[in-house]
Amino acid sequence: MKRDNSIPAQSDQMLELCKALWKDYQASNVDYESLQIESYTRKFEVIKFPKSLIAPILLKRTEPTIDDAKSLRVEINMYARKQRHFNSDEFKAEREADKLEEKEAIAILKKKGYRVMKRTIAYIDL
């Protein structure tokens, strides 16, 4: 099956996004703190992702290559997969079970006379 040359492939779009961001960053048109990824992702029709994933490409001395774009795509996919797992019902049920186990453990320790402190900040003067 031949690809229609009028519509760039996703890797081509990702490469163009990387190049545009890199050029703007090198020209000091954008800085990392105020970088808005959404405008670039809309322009190049790429899925929205956290700007921390593009940071290694921005810091490169040379223009991004197709390999950089492919590795960014892999990083974005891993991030999306992790987010799906984190928000899944199974994972939420697992977290609730962990909380219940923690409460049970605290109750057992308190029955034995222990003091249980949570979220305690200790300051040490040297």
Q: Can you give the residue ranges of every domain in the chain?
A: 8-126
Q: How confident is the model over 16-49, as pLDDT tens digits?
A: 999 999 999 999 899 888 889 999 999 999 888 9
- What's the confidence (pLDDT) of residue 122? 65
Q: How confident is the model over 52-103, as pLDDT tens digits?
A: 999 999 999 999 999 999 999 999 998 888 887 777 777 777 777 777 788 8
How many other CB atoms are found less than 10 A from the CB of residue 41?
A: 15
Alpha carbon distance 125, 91 (integer Å) = 41
Contacts of 25 (CB under 8 A, 6+ apart): 31, 32, 35, 58
Alpha carbon distance 18, 64 (integer Å) = 6
